[in-house]
Chain A
Amino acid sequence: MTFEEIKSILKNHTVGIAGAGGLGSNCAVALSRVGVGKLIIADFDVVNETNLNRQYFFKDQLGEKKVSALKNNIKRINPETEIIIHDLKLNENNLVNIYKDCDIIVEAFDLAEMKQMIIETCMSKLPDKPLITGLGIAGWGKSNEIRIRQSENLYICGDEVSETSTQNPPLAPRVGIAANMQANTVLEILLNKTQG
C-alpha cells in the first residue's frame, strides 16, 4: 500500500488512548503522524518536570493539563487529526462510555492497579474491542526482550517483568519502543482488517 492508501484507510478510524503519559503521549503522536482520523485521549494529570525524560511534552508546558498540552502538540504535527480529550481519572464506569465507539483501545497507564482495571473492564464490558496494553517497559537496554503477544483481543507489548522503581526508572528509549510498538499494532489491526 502507498502512504496515500494507508492514510485513506486510517482517517476513517478512531483509537482510544487511556492515559497521556510515557506510553500514551508517544503512541498518540505516532498515530497522528500516520493519519489516524480520530483520537480519544483521557488523563487527569498535569505535566511535571519528571515527565520530560520520556513523555511528549515541552519544558514550557510544565503545569498544564496533559490532555490539553498533548492536543496542542499533536495539532502542530498534524492538524487534520480530530482529538477528543477527557480531563478525568478513568474508572470501570466512565471508561465504557468514553471508549465504546473506538475501533481499538490503547492502555497507556502507569500503575499496575489501573492496568488491571482497564483489562478486566474491557474483557467483561467491551469484549469485542482490541485492547493493546503496555507491560514491562522500565529501565534501559534489553531491547530484544520487549515483544508482543496476543491472547484473543488482548495484545501485550513489553517484557512483562521490568517494573518501575527508583533504581529502574522508565526512560524515553524503552518507553518509546513500547509506545511505538502499541501504535504499530494498531496499524497492523486496522490495515490488515481492511486488506483481508
Chain B
Amino acid sequence: MKITLNNKEETFDKNELTIRELLELSNFSYKLLIVKVNGKLVRKEAYNNTVVKDGDDVTVLHLVTGG
C-alpha cells in the first residue's frame, strides 16, 4: 500500500497496518506522540486497533520538551 506519511509518499509491503505497526516500522520511538489519520486524532489507546490503509494521510509528531 501507498500512504502519505508526514507529507511524503511511503510504500509498505502490507495491505494494511495498525498504527502500532506503522510507528515501529517507521522508527517513531518517542514516548509521546500525536498521531492523525486523515485529519482525525488517534489516541494512544487506539494504536493497536486503528488500521491504516492504501491512500491514507498520516501525520505523526514527536512531542519534545522545551519552551
Looking across the interface, which residue of chain B has its beta carbon closest to that of A136? B64
Chain A interface residue count, CB cutoff 8 Å, equals 34
On whether the beta carbons of B43 and A111 are closer than 8 Å, the reply is no
B7 in contact (CB, < 8 A): yes
Contacts of A21 in B (CB 8 A): 67
The stretch that binds A, out of B10-18, B19-27, B34-42, B48-56, is: B34-42
Looking across the interface, which residue of chain A has its beta carbon closest to that of B31? A112
B32 in contact (CB, < 8 A): yes
For chains A and B in complex, what number of residue pairs have CB atoms within 8 angstroms? 73
On whether the beta carbons of B59 and A112 are closer than 8 Å, the reply is no
On whether the beta carbons of B32 and A163 are closer than 8 Å, the reply is no
On whether the beta carbons of A120 and B66 are closer than 8 Å, the reply is no
A156 in contact (CB, < 8 A): yes
- In this complex, the interface size class of chain B, counting residues with CB under 8 Å from chain A, is 10 to 19
Known: A116-B34, A149-B7. A161 touches B62 (CB 8 A): yes
On whether the beta carbons of B65 and A160 are closer than 8 Å, the reply is no
On whether the beta carbons of A109 and B67 are closer than 8 Å, the reply is yes
B46 in contact (CB, < 8 A): no
A46 in contact (CB, < 8 A): no
Contacts of A175 in B (CB 8 A): 66-67
Known: A108-B67, A110-B67, A149-B7. A135 touches B32 (CB 8 A): no
On whether the beta carbons of B63 and A135 are closer than 8 Å, the reply is yes
On whether the beta carbons of A135 and B64 are closer than 8 Å, the reply is yes
Chain A 88-142 interface residues, beta-carbon cutoff 8 Å to B: 108-113, 115-116, 119-120, 123-124, 134-138
On whether the beta carbons of A170 and B67 are closer than 8 Å, the reply is yes
Tell me, in angstroms, the Cα distance from A55 to B30 when the chains sit together. 27
Closest 6 CB pairs of A and B: A164-B66, A112-B63, A163-B64, A110-B67, A138-B66, A151-B59
B residues touching A (Cβ–Cβ < 8 Å)? 7, 31-32, 34, 36, 39, 41, 43, 59, 61-67
A residues touching B (Cβ–Cβ < 8 Å)? 19, 21-24, 108-113, 115-116, 119-120, 123-124, 134-138, 149, 151-152, 156, 158, 160-164, 170, 175
